[in-house]
Amino acid sequence: MKILIAVTHLLGAGHLTRAAALARAFARTGHPATLVSGGMPAPLVSLGDAALVQLPPVRTAGTDFETLLDEGGARVDPDRLDLRKRMLLDAFRSVRPDVVVTELFPFGRRVLAGEFMALVDAARAVAPRPLIVASVRDILACPAKPERIEETHRRVGALYDAVLVHGDPNLVGLGRSWPLSREAAALVRYTGYVDEGGGPVAEPTTAKRSEILVSGGSSAASLPLYRAALAAAASVTERPWRVVVGAGVAQPAFEDLRRAAPAHVAVERARPDFRALLARAAVSVSQAGYNTAVDLLRAGAAAVLVPFEAGHETEQRLRAECLAALGLARLLPEAELAPATLAERVRMQLAGGAPPRPEIRLDGAERTVARVEDLARRPHRPAVAPPRADWSPLDDVLRRTAGEGRTVAVWWRDDDAVAATPALDRLLEVARAFDLPIALAAIPRGVERSLMERLGDEPQAHILVHGLAHLNHAPPGQRKAEFGRHRPLAALVRDAEAGLRLAETACRAKLLPVFVPPWNRTAPELLPLLSDLGYRGFSSFGDHRMREPAPGLRQINTHIDPIDWTGSRGLLPEDTVVARLAAAIAARLDGDADADEPIGLLTHHLIHDEGVWRFCETLLDRLKRHEHLSYPSPRTLFP
């Protein structure tokens, strides 16, 4: 079998090391394996005989998994995401795999759903269809919103042949962290833990177990643990200490740790013989990540676990609790981490002796290969068609529109255009196929010459001014906005004027002086000042409050957005979108909304997955069949 594994690690390297271990295991048993990695390169991760395709990497800062950054810490732009998707699909076409493995998705990585769904759609489109498998760790981060869980279950049920859980229910079952539906539970196959550290280490004698070993994985999230350990070591001086610092800790911070270390504490960078160090340790002090737990289970070291809990993370806390319940570790919650409490837990473990040896499987890589071989010998699950929209609410209100002799206008706005891309080509092809005018809200500071060159032969395409740079200035924890009340009004005026001037230079005859605030949020105080800057229109989202929020400034909003921004960033349930459109038409017939305001369809071509594209095309096809809908040009709407 030819295997393709797609993985993107965003914070530490645990997801990558586990995926790489699977790729090595497939390659060892004669199955050519290709690992497509979308996270930061990790030098210590070995691929053995497996091949690597490195996508332009993305990462996150801390626990903000919604904001993707590049190598230099800059926000990832749509071009990089589009390039990643194209490279992933190129790898699929080049490998022509018999098995496609998506690591964590669809149970996580919602921010990258576009590229993962593109891979799954490509796999389902070829014949014979590859086996499609989800690969997840023992514990998952469960979304707070039920609709996200339901979406995951829909995707698993419709698109996947199996869910491989790299854990052992004797320690923790997947149901402890994720409420599996009956259909999803039927696809679960436990493999045991994936031990990426190689074979068993030699069992040391008690006399050789002298060192207190502190480790924290590959990210900078362990800095508080390192600092607390150095302070705790000052009161536990009868044993040597070793602090092993991951590559994700910047060199200045590493040097600070070395300078702060007491004489009996060695501070050094992560090293490939870590498993041997752990086997010789009297006590291990660490967080409770997946690979750390595997290392502890393999080495049999007494452990103090300080689980990572920032940003409401629960995965490591649950794993630490399960290990502690079996007598394999002592738990020190992150909120209680202090030099004194850490020193106390270390002394308890020194006095307690070696932990018991539990019956927990650590041959997960080999068993994964066996599971996949078994699945491949069987007929693949028949594809389950995703649920179809109930179009009856829309059909009913359109019949009413015809019966009353009324006509409702519809217009189309697409946001975030910056350059000519394959996604833009598809958008314009759809608009041309249905003979629809379209307004592209372009980001002035990001507009490239290729955008205007591409639009030169598109008479029904127009440009609106999408803020200035599409940068979020809202404080952490508040809804994103570039032109919100978080900044002085003078700064908002300055940036709004700069956006218009840049657009006038870059977009020329295609430009309509219409202000579209990024994230559809703007300070109300800015609106009366836009006319003086040269704007003639304003467009946000939702029913407008007044046609002219300022003299000479016409407001026409959008109302229907098919994308699930708070969840998968894929398609909302189709029934939801259809019902919202039907309600918008009914509101105009009933006088609950401005009857003269066109209903605006809002799309974002750069992040559409195949499901969003298909739904939009189906929707436009149905709308164009009705005579009592009109499609005015943006140039007419904003004269």
Phi, psi of 67 (to 5 degrees): -105, 115
In sign, the C-alpha dihedral spanning 135, 309, 77, 430 is positive
**Phi and psi for 404 in degrees, rounded to 5?**
-90, 0
Q: What is the mean pLDDT of residues 378-392?
A: 68
Which residues belong to CATH 3.20.20.370 in the chain? 392-637
Task: Please report the pLDDT score of residue 442 as a whole number.
Answer: 96
Q: In this structure, what token pair is assigned to residue 390?
A: 């109930």
* Residues 460-496 pLDDT 10s: 999 999 999 999 999 988 899 999 999 999 999 999 9
Give the pLDDT confidence of 44-57 residue by residue, as tens digits.
Answer: 788 999 999 999 99
Residue 619 to residue 330: CA distance in whole angstroms: 57
E strand intervals along 259-341: 265-269, 281-286, 303-305, 330-331
CA dist 174 and 192 (Å) reads 12
Q: Decide if pLDDT at 30 tops 60.
A: yes
Confidence of residue 207 (pLDDT cuts 50, 70, 90): very low
Token reading at 247 = 């590559």
Confidence class of residue 130 from pLDDT cuts 50, 70 and 90?
Answer: very high
What is the β-pairing status of strands 303-305 and 281-286? Answer: parallel
Query: 630 pLDDT exceeds 90?
Result: yes
pLDDT more than 70, % of the chain: 95
**Sign of the C-alpha dihedral computed for residues 613, 619, 620 and 625 taken in this order:** positive
| pLDDT tens column, 413-452 | 999 999 988 889 889 988 988 889 999 999 999 999 999 9
Q: Candidates 3.40.50.2000, 3.10.620.30, 3.40.50.10210, 2.60.40.10; correct CATH number of 206-352? A: 3.40.50.2000
Q: What is the pLDDT of residue 20?
A: 94
CATH code, 392-637:
3.20.20.370
User: Residue 457: is its pLDDT beyond 60?
Assistant: yes
pTM: 0.60
Could you name the CATH architecture of 3-195+365-377?
Answer: 3-Layer(aba) Sandwich (3.40)
Mean pLDDT of the chain: 90
pLDDT of residue 125: 85
Average pLDDT over residues 327-344: 93
Lowest-pLDDT choice from 248-262, 319-333, 455-469, 605-619: 605-619
pLDDT digits (tens, 9 = 90+) for 602-627: 999 998 887 888 899 889 988 988 88
Q: Tell me what the mean pLDDT of segment 382-406 comes to.
A: 81
How far does Cα 317 stand from its chain's mean position? 22
Distance CA 598, CA 621 (A): 18
Task: For CATH 3.40.50.2000, list the domain ranges present in the chain.
Answer: 3-195+365-377, 206-352
CB-based contact 526:510 (threshold 8 Å): no
Q: How far apart are CA 219 and CA 247, in angstroms?
A: 7
Residues 6+ apart with CB under 8 A from 573: 147, 151, 387
Q: What is the pLDDT of residues 266-301, one digit of tens each?
A: 999 988 888 889 888 999 999 998 888 998 888 888
C-beta of residue 621 within 8 angstroms of C-beta of residue 391: no
Residue carrying structure tokens 């921004």: 565
- Average of per-residue pLDDT across 74-87: 91
Q: Which of 295-304, 379-388, 405-414 has the highest mean pLDDT?
A: 405-414
Q: Is the pLDDT of residue 388 over 50?
A: yes
The pLDDT tens digits of the residues spanning 579-600 come to 999 999 999 999 887 888 899 9
pLDDT tens digit string along 520-569? 999 999 999 999 999 999 999 988 767 788 888 999 999 999 999 887 78
